[in-house]
Structure 1
């Protein structure tokens, strides 16, 4: 029976290597690998052996007979991909390239700053080479996994299963965590470069782009990064004030993050409590929310929307909310997948229960001003033309919460040469200079998917290996023991899952750094602020 990929992929490529008949594409080395929304199984050549099912680290592959009604559209997506991208000319077996060996014997050690997907994939690629003895992954937060922990929507539990792959990476010999260490405060880049052969920045892009309109900084006008971090338990956002007392919220931007925000604001809080790891403080506030409608506005038409197909399909299957598409029917007549799915959403009958919450997808609309005295009360919205430029016609929509989800920019750091507008580092194939490198969003900008970080990491690691072979200077000092190690993270992970089990939830996150410290390091007080310790007094 043919098998089907049922969600956006991590692009780990384990399934590609496991397949004995090379029926999963795009494969490594083929156009689109690492940047495509998902991989596809060729129904004409799949032999139904299920090798890919056991190899997939996120459980995304199923036989066609096991698909739920909500997953059936993925069967059509697989077939359509091979109609448009035939692969008859491919070799019948997946080829694994011969592992590169360094000309210098080592041992070498590398520091990776950032414990998100980019940092962990980089560590994994480095540790595939026996000459690299140690990789220390450093992060400002006391928890790893970056955007997977603090950015993926809580109701996307299947996507979060990529943490099982990360757990395998961090279990490798030579991998070490140094969590709760702020580079620039607790330790300097100069210190790290004296202790390691190479240092890699994988710090992501943590700032929202600005709209540049009046009223943007009113209370109740938030960036998506702040709101997403709030409901995901990011320590920096747990005290965020989120006004939920109005009947309408407006989300500006038409990408996946906008859909995530809209779903979370319209989900039944009891369902969130039973099925997700949403932060307890956010769950408690959402129980008292009066929001009935979330309006997503985008300045261009449906065919130009940045929603991915898997996310639109998920919205199509949502039964907890009414979906309204506000667009000229002529703009939904296209044959592309986005237009077709949006057209089907527009034709869906309205729910019979008038109390059903609603998500409105409005196209050809752009914000002009956020209105209010000291806090958000409404948004002035302009009608736009096919080019996304306002036509001059405007209207005012009442809203107590406005969320901008128009993209991200990098975090400027004095340690890296970055573009002042985008925050992206200036580099050559991940190399800032010999011994200093970048990976992830700080390297390529905020684009791609979780799995895109794998191919990005591979390129950076190749540059590191080239420089090690060319003769990077040896460190002049031993790495010092800093921060929370892997055992400390595992203690917190165990505590969170145990609390979740006691409450009938997948996980109950601990977001207070002082309580995290108490769990991770016995003897710390969960109440008193943690005193700043003198990092680096014990050689590793």
Structure 2
């Protein structure tokens, strides 16, 4: 006999629970979400885990963030697929937290809700001219070339200028620069989106500037990423050798950080290498340090288009042992974008150009979720969501976070593994204390309740078997073009394929 329950005025059907299994919902199907699901399934043998995502496709930034010429990084998808195919796990795509279902409703349906939906917005510089045409966030550009359905219509102008300026020097900034500079013949055999490949084949971009607030001793990229971009064929690397001079504080900072020390060594070596100028197709990559944007300048010839950046020079100021921040030096300069650098001014014979802001991703809060807007994270204690940041003992029962939403947008894919282990450990401790589930408590509807509610709201869910149809079609399309896959890049294409 089926039991009936009430959830927010709606009825749900269960399958005659003989016990009270642990119902877990993970919001977000990127690395943080999948590692959390995997750890929960291994640690708690009776747990039923549902992973929901607003996209029809799983894997988050592994699919839409990892550069197309880094296929080895995407191998982790095989591991995540096994998690999704586990008998006690399910994937439900096209389910958006906040519109398809609210956070409060999820907390009624499940004993445990883990938010791992990452950071899908961008930090703002907050300076004049930031909304001019030709300025994009690196996230938007990455989504565009990786075939994210929300990035399909970006259409960056790669023809009107020979130069792109990237604000930031982290791994994402280097990814973007590499895609702009790498020969398209090499990109053509990756899973780069077809519309992006076509645009890059016609691109006029020949010069890329990577501009950072701090110096080479503080560069945020990894040695692996830097080594790769320095090795691109037919690209001259230009660095002012004076920028590479180290202060005693810099030397102390490098002494305790092997990665940054290696990065500085690579930059120093590149700075002393002579430009190749081997062909007419020669391209240039400039590293510019100790500059922060003060305002963007509008083109005189193209209304509402960016044509330059007003920069303030910076100096480093120690704030704690081994840490220096960039502060304005009160000296300004107008940097124009173009082929050559004379006396610290980049000149351009064209009056429009492209700027990509790679200054960090930003998480977005939802109704009912405590949020630290300054840090851009959910206040938490080892993954437990705090109701009150001033009192760590006041917790949101059954609500947890993992990944960028928990610690901020930093780290590599493997960082999420350790992050998930910590959050699952906190969940386990709370379960042992009896704070989440008890034998006398009414069973939670979990997946059945969620599916019923979504059905009532006419929300079309995408299962993992539906995703496998998308995966199969993308691989089929790619095989005819010597690519691992040809991504479906519009919502309509994705939906249509799941219906076949």
TM-score by length of 2: 0.80
What residue in structure 2 maps to residue 194 of structure 1? 108
Match of 1:381 in 2: 311
Question: CA–CA distance in 2 between the matches of 1:153 and 1:204?
Answer: 18
2:123 alignment partner in structure 1: 209
The 2-side partners of 1:162 and 1:126 are apart by: 18
User: What is the Cα deviation at residue 329 of structure 1?
Assistant: 5.7
1:344 pairs, out of 246, 259, 269, with 269
> Which of residues 336, 341, 366 is equivalent to 1:397?
336
Post-superposition offset of 1:476: 4.0
Match of 1:121 in 2: 35
- 2:289 — aligned with what? 363
Q: Give a deviation string over 1:142-197, Cα, whole Å, max 9, x none.
A: 01111111111111111122212222322322111010111221222233223221
The equivalent of 2:224 in structure 1 is: 310
Cα distance, 1:422 vs structure 2? 2.9
In the superposition, relative to structure 1, how do residues 501 and 179 fare at CA in structure 2: closer, same or farther (>3 Å)? same
Tell me which residue corresponds to 1:472: 436
* 1:446-465 alignment runs, 5 A limit: 446-465=409-428
Structure with larger RCO (C-alpha < 8 A, sep 6+): 2
| 2:398 paired residue number | 435
State the TM-score, normalizing by the size of structure 1: 0.74
Cα distance, 1:405 vs structure 2: 0.6
Conserved in 1, the CA contact under 8 Å of 2:244 and 2:268?
no
Matched, 1:285 2:199: yes
Aligned residue in 1 for 2:376: 423
CA distance in 2, matches of 1:475, 1:441: 31
SS in 1 for 2:364: coil
2:68 is the counterpart of 1:154: yes
With over 3 angstroms needed to count, the CA separation of the structure-2 counterparts of 1:190 and 1:270, relative to structure 1, is: same
Question: Does residue 1:411 correspond to 2:336, yes or no?
Answer: no
Could you tell me which runs of 5 or more consecutive residues in structure 2 were left unpaired when the two chains were aligned: 1-18, 255-260, 318-325, 338-351, 386-395, 455-460
User: Is 312-321 or 353-362 further displaced after alignment?
Assistant: 312-321
The gaps in structure 1 that reach 5 residues or longer are: 1-104, 523-540
RMSD of Structure 2 on Structure 1 (CA): 1.9
How much has 1:416 moved relative to structure 2?
1.1
Match of 1:262, SS state, is helix
SS in 2 for 1:161: helix
Between the two proteins, the alignment pairs up a number of residues equal to 417
Instruction: Please state which structure has a larger fraction of its residues in strand.
Output: 2
Aligned equivalents of 2:330 and 2:435: distance in 1?
60
CA distance in 2, matches of 1:297, 1:480: 47
Q: Deviations over 1:54-97 (max 9, x none)?
A: xxxxxxxxxxxxxxxxxxxxxxxxxxxxxxxxxxxxxxxxxxxx
Q: Is the Cα–Cα contact under 8 Å of residues 135 and 174 in structure 1 kept in the other structure?
A: yes
